[in-house]
Amino acid sequence: MNFSDVIRTIPDYPKPGIMFRDITTLLGNARAFRRAVDEMVQPYAGVKIDKVAGIEARGFILGGAVAHQLARGFIPVRKKGKLPHTVLGEDYDLEYGKDRVEIHSDAVSKGDHVIVVDDLIATGGTAFAAIKLLERAGATVIGCSFVIDLPELGGADKIRALGKEVQTLVTFGGH
């Protein structure tokens, strides 16, 4: 399947010059959604995985489906202030300012093998912060899986530089 055929591109969103890659069209196509999840799971067949971490918000959809298929637990990696219990957090830089991701302090146990899932890897800031947070909590992040890679923005390379495997299903030039 050519995933680029089922992903909508919206020019100039959220600001001029950006080509927004919208996976809601992939999610709405049962065959494409199933295939995407199957392909995100396949590299981890036979690999020791304890939990799947999904980055808010589209990573919840994909990560939940991957966790279900692997019969593993799911960790929501949320934006600051969204979790109701004691949290651990990690700040990361935005183009103008900072943001923060958080997990519950009891989301992982020391030594848990975790994969990180999201819809898209662009600059890699959020995924990088999620990896650092999970590892500080005691997990071993064994890889990351994304539907889309925007290689010109360097995020996948930033994650690989941490020694993490990065799996993607489709690459789009430009951003």
Look-up of token digits 């036979």: 46
Report the alpha-carbon angle 48-49-52, nearest 5. 170
Amino acid at 163: G
The beta-strand segments (E) located in 5-163 are: 8-11, 19-22, 51-55, 73-79, 87-94, 97-104, 113-121, 140-149
- 95 tagged catalytic: yes
3-state secondary structure at position 165:
strand
Show Cβ contacts of residue 81 under 8 Å, excluding neighbours closer than 6 positions: 102
Among residues 109, 167, 103, which one has the least CA distance to residue 140?
A: 109
Active-site residue (options: 31, 35, 58, 78): 58
Active-site residue (options: 21, 56, 78, 95): 95
- 31 tagged catalytic: no
> Would you say 174 and 151 are in contact if contact means Cβ atoms under 8 Å apart?
no
The residues that are catalytic are 58, 95
